Amino acid sequence: MRLVAVAFVLASAIAIACSGATLANAAPPYCPDPAHARPAKVPADLIASVAKTFQVDDATVSSGAFVRCVGAKLMGCYVGANLVCDKADTRRSLPGATAWCRDNPGSTGIPMSATGHATIYDWSCKGRHAVSGKTLMPVDAQGYIAENWKEIR
């Protein structure tokens, strides 16, 4: 019985020592790290988590997704047909919109091909002048289109 108790204590000590070594050798967490506050390609060790969040395969994440840190939160963005992972365009004057209105005076809408996909406003033409309307997409505290970014767990 005493031999079993000694063996148990020894096995427990080895397990604790090994788990400590594993933790000591583990890579530091991606967030929080101020260097990761701007969007970057998804690191290999985070691809599976990002793929799961967006319900896409790993190859899709590798070619069209980004991650960034917002404090301790890891956020991900997957570039879709009209999704932008860069900062939102909050300008109230856009050269493309202006050109569209010169060519299409009085248009009730200006396509994203003219405004760009990062604009957050609804655009129209008042005569030959582009007018930014209501805000269509909220911007987060860091200046990105909030709905394009999801927390990665």
- d(Cα 136, Cα 31) in Å, to the nearest integer? 30
**Entry pTM:** 0.75
Q: Would you state the pLDDT for residue 77?
A: 96
Residue 20 has pLDDT above 70, yes or no: no
- d(Cα 105, Cα 52) in Å, to the nearest integer? 45
Question: What's the pLDDT tens digit per position in 24-39?
Answer: 444 568 899 888 999 9
- d(Cα 76, Cα 40) in Å, to the nearest integer? 10
- d(Cα 124, Cα 56) in Å, to the nearest integer? 35
- d(Cα 61, Cα 77) in Å, to the nearest integer? 9
Q: Would you state the pLDDT for residue 3?
A: 37
Residue 15 corresponds to which tokens in the numbers above? 């397990």
